[in-house]
Structure 1
């Protein structure tokens, strides 16, 4: 989006009013919860925040009614489109539901400038007309439409986002169509995520891991030192802040592009993809947290699932337990491997291959078993049923596998 000075000032003011509404509603919920944290006969001897016992919980609907009354009194709120502020309350309600259902942390207050998006949930007509988009109470704003709206689709919602590189409008389209779920059929592939390589496939391919954040960490550190020496709130301080924000956005964009390219590359010529259902929260707090977060495995699996659905490829996550301790050739338990042990060497059948490739094959076998397909191990046995040791059926080193592509810089 390319708003003029007037439209930009209106949107910036709406962002600030949305932030104030968000913080007020959050404080109202926090006070209600705080007043009921202990029993009536066990209050603090020093002080206790008390709200009347018959006061109902300020949920989304109660706060929306309070917002309607406040708009009649406060002129700053009345200048904002009503549905934009209602969507702000809905965003807060979603945060509380995520805290209760998904184990997220308690919602935090937003500082000045931290509210970066406005949602317009309803339109009577198509707001996009060629080279501009028409927003309620703002008017027509010039845009660069990245791709035409498909015929038969209706624009239902618009989210205006303020990024370091400018303003963007995200369109939500509706179409009367049903997309059938992909059927597990065709060629299968299992993937194993890692740090030495971004991922390994059961077919023996390795994809190098680009270090998006680590490569630009020194530049980010230099910019943050420059910010430290600026007077807080000055023009130079805001310019340094914008430079840091643009660098973070560049890191995010390059990582996301790599994830999409890799996801499409995996979907070429296959009908089923299986991945490990890892605990990314725990990995993001461990010894290698910086590198795990830099790889962005959770975001990649979300993108991979979306790309698989778009291209008609069956995608499923399997239990990661024991994938690196099981021989993919004979199914024997090989014991725990240290992180520096990069080669899988089975003492039962003599199967030698890359550790990540072996784990990817086990993931593929587990996924095929879950969907009801037969898995045949490649182990050979003698006349007494004893496994015959094999010599390197898939290669004994990382160099014997194919490395896909090069990461975008």
Structure 2
């Protein structure tokens, strides 16, 4: 089964905009109430039966774990007496509960953080087989026919299974989840291998010698953002001028995010060109975002880049895999000698055993490549030991 997601900008009428805003508010309330129920269940069972917390403990009447099915049934009952819930779309609220349930499952299986309360809901989902595209109009539940900017055609044979309505600073958008009943083979290891090492001073370095400096997406807009935030401080919160400034700041942040995502897609296609295997480090970027260089790490968006790179690899028949990131900068790629920890200011790898000299990040990317080839059972080819500093900065 081939699944794709196409994004379009919609141009809703005034009545359709009011429906979108109403359902965003209702879904936000459903999410927060359901999350509060689950947190209460967890907090009331944080201690053992025969012990109590030193500080405090929740004492509530015993109740079953509020899973999706329980909360969905309670929502159906609450809609009969609550006019606010009755005003929202039932399917959007059900999908909100499903999204919360997936967040809890990911928290347990992937080790992610606890879901958070929503201050402003930005999207809701609608699942239906009655979603159709007629020219520049999209027919969907809740909104009926809505105009949209048809930036690209939906491929022939694909069926629209789900639509996600999204609110951004620049307007309203929809994500159309389309699928085609066809078997797509998983890429297998073949062809030329490429190892990628990521860092802070340079965004990434490849085993082929390419070094890319850190792109400064936010720096180009930081001066305008700071100026607007300084003006925002002197406005009355909630006033018209305050809301206008908030909107301008949100537009600047959205433009930065769009530039970053566009750069990631172009870079991913560049790296996959003529390559059969791509190996990257299995890094916890959440920890990176809390470190000393958190601002630089978040501005590069390396977690998003790896996700995009994996997607582009699947579309270009390129094998993608993650390897152990430990000690990649402390091992010589030529002789395998452990050279010890390097200071951040030391940008050149020079092995005292074999004399192999290369850029530090390029050496780490070669180690990533060698570990990836070992994992897939492919022969590891040593780098030429010429003692010359290599690496091409672009």
Q: When the two structures are superposed, what TM-score results if normalisation uses the length of structure 2?
A: 0.92
Q: How does 1:146-165 map to 2 (within 5 A)?
A: 146-165=151-170
- The number of aligned residues is 385
> Judging changes above 3 Å, is the alpha-carbon distance between structure 1 residues 130 and 45 closer, same or farther for their aligned structure 2 residues?
same
Secondary structure of the 1:30 match is helix
C-alpha displacement of 1:117: 0.5
Instruction: Determine which structure has greater relative contact order: mean sequence separation of CA pairs < 8 Å that are 6+ residues apart, divided by chain length.
Output: 2
Structure 1's unaligned 5+ residue stretches are 380-389, 405-409
> Judging changes above 3 Å, is the alpha-carbon distance between structure 1 residues 359 and 48 closer, same or farther for their aligned structure 2 residues?
closer
Residue range with higher mean Cα deviation, 36-45 or 306-315: 36-45
Aligned to 1:223: 228
Secondary structure of the 1:161 match is strand
Distance in 2 between residues matched to 1:186 and 1:39, nearest whole Å: 55
Aligned to 2:19: 10
Aligned to 1:61: 69
C-alpha displacement of 1:188: 1.0
Distance in 2 between residues matched to 1:50 and 1:352, nearest whole Å: 65
Structure 2 residue 287 is matched with structure 1 residue 297: no
Structure 2 residue 50 is matched with structure 1 residue 36: no
Aligned to 2:3: none
Distance in 1 between residues matched to 2:195 and 2:187, nearest whole Å: 17
Of 80, 92, 104, the match for 1:84: 92
Secondary structure of the 1:191 match is strand
Residue range with higher mean Cα deviation, 39-48 or 8-17: 39-48
Query: Contact 1:81–1:136 (CA<8 Å) still a contact in 2?
Result: no
Q: How does 1:205-354 map to 2 (within 5 A)?
A: 205-354=210-359
Distance in 2 between residues matched to 1:22 and 1:215, nearest whole Å: 36
Query: Contact 1:330–1:378 (CA<8 Å) still a contact in 2?
Result: no
Distance in 2 between residues matched to 1:63 and 1:216, nearest whole Å: 43
Aligned to 1:122: 128
Distance in 1 between residues matched to 2:366 and 2:53, nearest whole Å: 58
Secondary structure of the 1:143 match is strand
Of 153, 173, 180, the match for 1:175: 180
C-alpha displacement of 1:45: 10
> Judging changes above 3 Å, is the alpha-carbon distance between structure 1 residues 362 and 36 closer, same or farther for their aligned structure 2 residues?
closer
Query: Contact 1:198–1:208 (CA<8 Å) still a contact in 2?
Result: yes
> Judging changes above 3 Å, is the alpha-carbon distance between structure 1 residues 211 and 47 closer, same or farther for their aligned structure 2 residues?
closer
> Judging changes above 3 Å, is the alpha-carbon distance between structure 1 residues 334 and 18 closer, same or farther for their aligned structure 2 residues?
same
Question: 1:302-345 deviations in whole A, cap 9, x for unaligned?
Answer: 11000000000111111111211111122222111110000111
C-alpha displacement of 1:376: 3.4
Structure 2's unaligned 5+ residue stretches are 1-9
C-alpha displacement of 1:295: 1.2
Q: When the two structures are superposed, what TM-score results if normalisation uses the length of structure 1?
A: 0.89
